Amino acid sequence: MILNCVAIDDEPLALELVGKFIEQTAFLKLTGKFSNAIEALSFINQQEVQLIFMDIQMPDLSGMELARVLDGKKKSDQTRIIFATAYHQFAIEGYKVDALDYLLKPYSYEEFLNAATKAFAYFERLNQEGKSESKEAEKSNPDYIFLKVEYQLVKVQLKDIAYVEAYKDYVKVHLISKPNPILSLTSLKSMEELLPADQFMRVHRSFIVALDHIESVSKNVINIGNQSIAVGDNYKESFLEFMSRWMS
């Protein structure tokens, strides 16, 4: 598999270096070099580009702004970004726009190759998932989901999920098989849409529970293992409906 790459940097020497690194990497193909992010965006919208190496601080349109534009166009899964910048303080912001990796200038070819290899592994997994999803569409619903954990996709069995908890910009996915939860950069609403409605229910603005793992209910409080979860006022009606079917 060869990944089509674009390099974007307003510094000529930096642009030349990243272009050179791309060209000497066997599984990467340099399809464009740009000193202007707006010109690069036009190219990306017309061509198939898997990987973008780009600076953050650039005139007209910054790297962060371009990342948000691509995310808004729903290209974020098929087109991934590796930031290359001289400013380490952008690392957290880069994580929030789901950058695949972050290279701090000046970086060596070894550091570049590590980031590129991570990208290759990501797209290899994505291809495998696409094949799996095609097969699963002919069968019943899949019994697992993939969650973004740090810079990788982690496969989680649905039956292993006890409950999901909102935590700032993340969610904590509490598993039966592990003592510590998985921390994923997503919203509780996204998790609610991802999880099957016949197996999971949102019972609070901060909690989704696995219905099969409910051990007891008392006074609108759900008990799962050692965790007690209150049913929020906005969710009582749907939960009581479930309870009436459960007890019938």
CATH number of residue 53's parent domain: 3.40.50.2300
State which of 8-12, 89-93, 125-129 shows the largest mean pLDDT: 8-12
Instruction: Name the phi and psi angles at 93, rounded to 5.
Output: -65, -35
The pLDDT value given to residue 135:
55
Residue with tokens 């990306």: 44
The pLDDT value given to residue 162:
96
The pLDDT value given to residue 94:
47
pLDDT digits (tens, 9 = 90+) for 220-230: 899 998 899 99
> Of 99, 133, 167, which residue constitutes the final position of a domain?
133
% of the chain beyond a pLDDT of 90: 46
| Count of the separate structural domains present in the chain | 2
Tokens, residue 137: 């569409």
Residue 146: pLDDT above 90? no
Count of C-beta atoms within a 10 Å radius of residue 226 = 5
Question: Is 191 found in the same domain as 114?
Answer: no
Q: Which helix (H) or strand (E) holds 33?
A: strand 28-34
Question: Is 150 found in the same domain as 111?
Answer: no
Query: 63: closest CA among 9, 122, 126, 135?
Result: 9
Please state, rounded to an integer, the average pLDDT across all residues of the chain: 85
Alpha helices in 97-172 (DSSP H): 109-136
Question: Is 172 found in the same domain as 92?
Answer: no
The pLDDT value given to residue 237:
86
The CA distance from 218 to 213, in Å, is 15
The pLDDT value given to residue 75:
54
The pLDDT value given to residue 207:
96
Mean pLDDT calculated for residue range 93-102: 67
Query: 185: closest CA among 100, 107, 79?
Result: 100
SS3 24: coil
